[in-house]
Chain A
Amino acid sequence: MELFKKISELKANNDFEGLVELVPYAKTIGIETSLVGDNIVSTLPFLSSNIGNHAIPALHGGAVAGFMENAAIFHLMWTAKLQQMPKVIDFSIDYLRSGQATTSYSQCEIIRLGRRVALCNIKVWQADIDKPFALARAHFLLSSNEPFNKES
């Protein structure tokens, strides 16, 4: 309920940047949000604290994964009327190439939005949208422990 109130408040003020303030981890890795149509789109400006291999230099695979998971979480928080934070059930990522020291962009597609579970595909790229550097899919638990509660 607390979350629903908070998101309604942010929406009323068109304060999509407030999402980042809400999630400390998103702030830590430096995620930025923008509103494209009705959707939240997350970007990750380059931060040296996200480096995993400084010889290339390349982003840490974990930071990339965290960025993608969070992109899906923000997308769900804004789109679905959630009563609580989406809880990741599983997260699976394929790395296609290393993430360079530049801005990363993300696109999240909700494949299925059920009452209890959502399935998302997430894609990240840098210079060229047709050359993603990682692809991920994730399931999120949306509702609380009472699985048969009716949606309000």
Chain B
Amino acid sequence: MKNSKPAVNPLLCKVNQTPHATILKLELVSAKDDTVTLKLPFSEHIIGDPFKRLIHGGAITTLMDTVCGAAVFQAQGNFQSMATLDLRVDHMRPADSGLDVFAIAECYRLTNTVAFIRATAYTDNIDEPVATAVASFMRSNVEFPIQ
């Protein structure tokens, strides 16, 4: 199955087109093997700390959830839906105000029913992460609706 799948899932460009991903302006940056990188651009409406003008943790969680799901699509090589079972995000430091946040996720294990993913979010330097995440998703054979 793995050797028949395209290098980059052609439908990946659709992952940021769900209404909520659109609101946060998530962008697909790159995809390779079983990893995907997305970008969360800094914007006024995702600020959580109005005094220091820092991005809200919830927006980072959405970035992590979406990039983990995208990594499953990339590893599967198709667009079969999945549902998040659990997601844990550890916040190492706040992203500097005004900077875009990137997140890279790797689907490191795909069983018949469950996908396991880890992800790292960063701004300039991946060695100084903003957050890390681990997630597991329940797989399904229902096609994800593409608009």
Residues on B with C-beta less than 8 A from A37 are: none
The answer to whether the Cβ of B99 comes within 8 Å of any Cβ in the partner chain is no
CB <8 Å contact, B88 and A60: no
CB <8 Å contact, A50 and B47: no
The interface on chain A, measured as residues whose beta carbon lies within 8 A of the other chain's beta carbons, has a size of 41
In the complex, per-residue mask of A39-51: 1 if CB is within 8 Å of any chain B CB, else 0: 0000000001111
CB <8 Å contact, B20 and A49: yes
CB <8 Å contact, B20 and A90: no
The answer to whether the Cβ of B59 comes within 8 Å of any Cβ in the partner chain is yes
Residues on B with C-beta less than 8 A from A69 are: 56-58, 61
Residues on B with C-beta less than 8 A from A24 are: 44-48, 50, 56
Beyond A27-B45, A53-B144, A95-B84, whether A89 also contacts B90 by CB under 8 A is yes
CB <8 Å contact, B81 and A65: no
Chain A: minimal CB distance from B86 (Å)? 5
CB <8 Å contact, A49 and B19: yes
Residues on B with C-beta less than 8 A from A25 are: 45-48, 55-56, 58-59
Beyond A3-B51, A63-B62, A93-B87, whether A70 also contacts B18 by CB under 8 A is no
Knowing that A61-B65, A95-B84, A95-B85 are A-B contacts, what are 12 other residue pairs whose CB atoms are under 8 Å apart, sorted by A's residue number?
A22-B50, A25-B48, A28-B46, A53-B145, A60-B21, A66-B56, A66-B62, A85-B49, A87-B91, A90-B89, A92-B89, A93-B84
Q: Which A residues have a C-beta under 8 Å from some C-beta of B?
A: 2-3, 22-29, 48-55, 59-63, 65-67, 69-70, 73, 84-85, 87-95, 98
